[in-house]
Structure 1
């Protein structure tokens, strides 16, 4: 089966190449859960929240457009080709203490700033609509080189986005994230305890 990203790039070619070059000796043991992606860390955190009945928050499924289906048998269908559609909203949503939670998660290899190009215009518009409805909305920003994860409230992101649209810098400096964001210490269970930050910012 062949998958394509929204830009038309083939997905299976990358997987095939990676699989063909894989060798057991390439495996590097991970200590302290280092090397996990931001998505993996958040999914693990959300599962902990769910298991402990703290919150119900899930990752939204990536929409897929199927363009080619084979029917080898009357009772079976095989997808031969499909495209990943570009998501129209943010990555995660759910409910916590009766409040709607909505957030996006991004990471960068840069160490001194966070590029705003990581966000899309439709995501910014979605964030504005969530805030208009009094939902709790934020972004989790990860600096992958230092494994630092920050909680940044959505209204702060919008202010930096407006600065860019007005001709200002196209990124958020690390100093600004330190000033306006909240550093989330990485833990074991939960891995990224963003609910603790929400509790410190909102009164329920």
Structure 2
């Protein structure tokens, strides 16, 4: 199964782990995960032979839309969307989330789905944190700023993710907690 590679996510650890997770969860019937890709249109091609269309250097594309959140899926009948981000610092800046990503997180949440942000903190103690859209809004409104430390994520209902064999995120306990919280 291929993956859509752009300059922004090339070599991304969190992208590869999430891809592994989606493939593992789908193949084992645990959850349905899918990577979303931006819409594009074919603009032009160079060369006249039909074989030249198969060569990456022989055509250009144009993005039609900014794309959806990085991953979407269904777990135990609940729809969810996940945006992946990485930061080399011990803090996360909300400006890393683009306006269309905020909008999609809000729309999914308002329709009863689960909107999540998965952040890889790449500092010396590399860690992965999952925070729901509602907790992200709560953190933003309480702090009245756009930069949050890793310590602040630990204080709210954010979840540190563990990685299990074969290099997949252990999302089941977290998703179960989020679903049970929605029911109560």
TM-score range, shorter chain: 0.7 to 0.9
1:82 to 61, 71, 77: 61
Distance 2:53 2:166 in 1: 41
The C-alpha deviation readout for 1:46-99, integer Å capped at 9, x for no partner, is 111011100111110233343322351368636422345663431110111111
Question: Within the alignment, does 1:173 sit opposite 2:152 as a pair?
Answer: no
Query: Which segments of 5 or more consecutive residues in structure 2 lack a partner in the other structure?
Result: 1-5
Residue 71 to residue 106, structure 1, CA distance change in 2 (3 Å): same
1:156 aligned partner: 135
Q: Give distance in 2, aligned partners of 1:149 and 1:195.
A: 15
How many pairs align?
A: 169
Q: Does 1:189 align with 2:174?
A: no
Residue matched to 1:201: 178
1:123 equivalent to 2:97? Answer: no
Change (3 A) 1:129 1:70: same
Q: 2:3 maps to what in 1?
A: none
**Is the Cα–Cα contact under 8 Å of residues 74 and 80 in structure 2 kept in the other structure?**
yes
Q: Distance in 2 between matches of 1:43 and 1:74?
A: 32
What runs of 5+ residues in structure 1 fail to find an aligned partner?
Answer: 6-10, 16-34
Residue 23 (structure 2) aligns with: 47
The alignment status of 1:110 with 2:86, answered yes or no, reads no
Query: Greater Rg, structure 1 or structure 2?
Result: 1
- TM value normalised by structure 1: 0.72
Q: Write the deviation string for residues 114-166 of structure 1: whole angstroms up to 9, x where unpaired.
A: 011110011101111111110011111110222200110111223345578xx
User: CA separation in 2, counterparts of 1:172 and 1:81?
Assistant: 39
Q: 1:132 aligns with which of 110, 116, 121?
A: 110
Q: CA RMSD in A?
A: 2.7
8 Å CA contact retained: 1:48, 1:190 = no
TM-score by length of 2: 0.79
- The answer for the alignment partner of 2:44 in structure 1 is 68
